[in-house]
Amino acid sequence: MEVVDKGLLKQLVEGRIADDDVDEMRRMAKKDHQRFWTYLDILQEKVSWDNTILMRLNDHLYIVMRGNERIVKCDCGHEYGDYRVNWKLHTDIRTRDTQESMEKVYYPTAAAPDADWMEVREFFCPGCSAQLAVEIVPPGYPLTFEAFPDLDRFYREFMNKPLEDESPDWFKDKTADYLAAL
């Protein structure tokens, strides 16, 4: 296999690819450069909105273009605002901070964290209620910013196709500014 065709990549994205095909893809001497663009095409076809997808963050969230902004958007259409601000701040959060509440989601229950030391935070989309992330951290720990990609550098250096609105300002975490302004 020289190039992964779109049909195969779509099967991969949808989790219904055959094991043999995965093996063959893994054995490719060189990954084809086109794959990322085909991947974006597939993602774009699967969502119901028109904003251009720049990168996928997880099963439901994407960084997309909205006019001259780069925002985080759920596949359901819910928008989380500027991608430089941790999107978790705009989710519905359930915190499990008692042993009893943690043991409801751990099996065996002995595997649950110690509620004296840790808490379990679950993040849900306000638009579709999908669970977007889970983090297990000491109480009071700031929300972890799981992925903050340098999009300009990725598109320029790795994909050889710079974004039109490149600016050093895009790769600045604005979460603290956002919180300070509340």
Chain contacts with Zn ion (rule: CB under 5 A): 74, 76, 78, 125, 127-128
Smallest distance from the beta carbon of 121 to Zn ion, in angstroms? 18
Calpha distance 76→143 (Å, rounded) = 23
C-alpha 167: how far from chain center: 22
Query: Does an H or E element contain 133, and which?
Result: strand 131-137
Smallest distance from the beta carbon of 132 to Zn ion, in angstroms? 8
> Do 181 and 100 form a contact (C-beta atoms < 8 A)?
no
Residue closer to Zn ion by CB (options 123, 155) is 123
Smallest distance from the beta carbon of 133 to Zn ion, in angstroms? 13
Residue closer to Zn ion by CB (options 12, 130) is 130
Calpha distance 37→23 (Å, rounded) = 22
Residue closer to Zn ion by CB (options 59, 69) is 59
Residue closer to Zn ion by CB (options 75, 119) is 75
- The secondary structure of 16-82 as a DSSP string is ---HHHHHHHHH-SS--TTHHHHHHHHHHHHSSS-SPEEEE-SSSEEEEEETTEEEEEETTS-EEEE
Smallest distance from the beta carbon of 71 to Zn ion, in angstroms? 13
